């Protein structure tokens, strides 16, 4: 025999609550992912600024005003950038860098999303002039020369 004075939620009430939570999650998750992508892209731009500043310092000190550092690892070893950036990956972006021939005074660095469309949608690049470029396709960086330039953002 059941007691009519039992208190609690019915199955229908619980299902309504679960459905409401599901609807809220369906609305909130895409916004959360878009915010994360935007944060990753802002971090990539900031990291390229850091690389450019570090390269200018390297050029004027260790490079004897003739050469840039060949890799992000070399900038890390010189104590000019943090270890995560020195390893070539940070905040959903992968960083690559090349330099020109010895004494050419050329370098470029790129930032590509680790998973395009998920960790970021834009590709970025910087070279010796310090201008950061944004493109929706891969930036090229060959022998210290930045190619496939998009819009300048700095």
Write out pLDDT tens, residues 39-68.
Answer: 999 999 999 999 999 999 999 998 788 889
Per-residue model confidence (pLDDT) at position 96: 94
Q: How far is CA 45 from CA 9, 30, 113, 146, in A?
A: 51, 23, 12, 15
Residue 24 in domain: yes
Tokens 């396709």 label which residue?
A: 137
Residue 2 in domain: no
Residue 3 in domain: no
Domain range for 39 = 11-152
Quick check: 145 and 106 in contact, CB under 8 A?
A: yes
Quick check: 95 and 75 in contact, CB under 8 A?
A: no
Residue 4 in domain: no
- pTM higher than 0.85, yes or no? no
Report how many domains make up the chain. 1
Q: How many Cβ atoms sit within 10 Å of the Cβ of residue 119?
A: 19
Residue 121 in domain: yes
- Which tokens hold the place of 58? 């390297």
Per-residue model confidence (pLDDT) at position 31: 86
Q: How far is CA 144 from CA 30, 85, 140, in A?
A: 38, 19, 10
Residue 106 in domain: yes
Using CA atoms, how far apart are residues 83 and 89, in angstroms rounded to an integer?
10
Residue 108 in domain: yes
Q: What is the mean pLDDT of the chain?
A: 90
Q: How far is CA 17 from CA 6, 9, 53, in A?
A: 20, 11, 53
Asked if pLDDT for residue 1 goes beyond 60, the answer is: no
More confident residue, 151 or 77: 77
Residue 1 in domain: no
Per-residue model confidence (pLDDT) at position 148: 80
């Amino acid at each position: 025999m059941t007691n009519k004075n039992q208190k609690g939620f019915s199955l229908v009430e619980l299902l309504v609550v679960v459905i409401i939570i599901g609807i809220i999650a369906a609305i909130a998750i895409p916004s959360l992912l878009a915010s994360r992508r935007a944060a990753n892209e802002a971090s990539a731009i900031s990291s390229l600024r850091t690389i450019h500043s570090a390269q200018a310092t390297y050029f004027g000190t260790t490079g004897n005003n003739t050469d840039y550092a060949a890799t992000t690892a070399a900038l890390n070893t010189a104590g000019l950038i943090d270890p995560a950036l020195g390893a070539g990956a940070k905040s959903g972006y992968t960083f690559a860098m090349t330099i020109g021939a010895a004494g050419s005074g050329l370098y470029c660095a790129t930032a590509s999303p680790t998973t395009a469309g998920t960790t970021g949608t834009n590709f970025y690049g910087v070279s010796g002039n310090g201008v950061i470029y944004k493109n929706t396709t891969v930036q090229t960086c060959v022998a210290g020369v930045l190619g496939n330039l998009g819009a300048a953002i700095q």
